[in-house]
Amino acid sequence: MTEKKILGLKNCDTCRKALKALQAGDDTVSLQDVREAPLTEAELQTFLDAFGEALVNRRSTTWRTLSDEERTGDPLALLQAHPTLMKRPVIQSGDQLFLGWSASTKAALGQ
């Protein structure tokens, strides 16, 4: 039995789908809303190391509100200033990390 942690937003449809699907299994699943409980710099750096700039959701409403100057800034600083810019969900399962709720993520997590 593996504990899984979903990092995203509690009102995000994709995060809710992932949570519901993973809770249907035997594993313990928790959701951390990054707006209410922001990620630490170390956590963000770990995710950036794992996913690179794919971690920044360039199709989000938040991204569209940024100036051109802000968009060219450091991804770590952007994600710290605007937690909702993070592509969602990030799923931690043991020492594995997954980005998004794609078919490959579902398959890797046995969904």
Q: Active-site positions?
A: 12
- The rounded distance, in Å, linking the Cα atoms of 13 and 110 is 20
- Laid out side by side, the sheet with 3-8 consists of 28-33, 3-8, 90-93, 96-99
Within 13 A of 59's CA, how many CA atoms are on the CB side?
3
Cβ(15)–Cβ(38) below 8 Å: no
DSSP per residue, 19-59: HHHHHTSSSEEEEEETTTSPPPHHHHHHHHHHHGGGGB-TT
